Amino acid sequence: MSDFDSNPFADPEVSNPFQDPSVTRVTQNIPSALEEYNPFTDGKPASLAAMAPKAVGAAVHAQPAIMNPTEDTLSYAQPPTQQARIAEELLRRQEDLERKAAELDRREREMQSLSASGGRKNNWPPLPEKFPVGPCFYHDITVDIPVDFQKTVKIIYYLWMFHSGTLFANLIGCMAWFCVDPSRGGDFGLAILWLLLFTPCSFVCWYRPLYGAFRSDSSFRFFIFFFVYVCQVGVYVVQAIGLTGWGASGWISALTCLNKSIAVGIIMILIAGLFTALAVMSLVMFKKVHGMYRTTGASFEKAQQEFASGVMSNKTVQTAAARAAQESFKEQI
């Protein structure tokens, strides 16, 4: 009667023997290899001991297929040469930006100086205000010369000052030589002439053309500088040699003066060393300026065009051409 008295609508899992805690604990602790076992793939059953090594072996053989993040990042990393190239490019761009900023600053200072002074006024040579002769040129390297060429122009300017100082020292040496040997009056007179002549002429004939060439990128002024400066280097060589009767305290004159006075001879040897150093530095700067000239895009054809346009824009030339045209027209009439 117990079977007939049971409730057919009751929950069947209430009396389910598999819900016993001991049974559920055993089923939860079953190894993963046993759960993956499929009895329908192989007709022979396998034990847990036989299946566990296969799972471990599969994991071992599958391990190399996993990508190593460290190796991946190293494979995509840039080589050292490419990194150095990128760093140089960034450094070059930074230098270009700094150069452009300096150029803008120079132009701003130029406009400020012009607005403050009411225009460009001559400031060289720096003479006193009460001096009867005023300055003849406007000279300001930081305002007129682009930033890329300012250092070179300053070196040339200092070289011109060294040139003037050497001529003054040559005058002192020839005067001392004349004091110990009265027959050297001609050398002393020529030394005075070289100081009075070469000091202003060198500034006008080769320094100012170089200053104007870098200021306005003028090929014609570059050619003037090269022609005159080559002649100046030749004069330095002759003065360093010191031929007797040329008014220069060179090596020959200094060695000759040693027979008369050792002290004066030593002074002239030092002056000969100054002339030699001046010749060497002039050759170095000539080569440097020529290299910079080639990078500016200047050429002989451009110099010819500048010369032709400069001549035709000259008022004197225009007036002379107009008069010649009028006279020729009158003759035809």
160 with 277, same domain?
A: yes
137 with 259, same domain?
A: no
137 with 178, same domain?
A: no
Whether the Cβ atoms of residue 310 and residue 318 lie closer than 8 Å to each other = no
129 with 239, same domain?
A: no
State how many domains the chain has: 2
The pLDDT of residue 39 = 56
164 with 267, same domain?
A: yes
260 with 120, same domain?
A: no
Q: Which domain holds residue 185?
A: 148-298
Question: Which residue carries 């060294």 as its tokens?
Answer: 162
- Domain assignment present for 262: yes
249 with 152, same domain?
A: yes
> Rounded to whole angstroms, what are the CA distances from 301 to 57, 59, 294, 308?
84, 80, 14, 11
237 with 287, same domain?
A: yes
Whether the Cβ atoms of residue 289 and residue 225 lie closer than 8 Å to each other = yes
- Domain assignment present for 172: yes
Euclidean distance between CA atoms 313 and 100, whole angstroms: 33
The pLDDT of residue 19 = 59
- Domain assignment present for 18: no
Kindly give the confidence (pLDDT) of every residue in the chain, 333 residues in length, as a single tens digit, with 9 standing for 90 and above: 445 555 555 555 555 555 556 556 655 555 554 455 555 555 444 444 444 444 444 444 445 555 555 444 444 455 677 778 888 888 888 887 887 777 777 667 766 666 565 567 888 888 888 888 888 888 989 888 988 899 999 999 999 999 999 999 999 999 999 999 999 999 999 999 999 999 999 999 999 999 999 988 888 888 899 999 999 999 999 999 998 889 999 999 999 999 889 999 999 999 999 999 999 999 999 999 988 887 766 555 665 565 556 544 555 545 655 565 566 555 555
Closest CA to 113 of 77, 84, 78, 140: 140
The pLDDT of residue 72 = 47
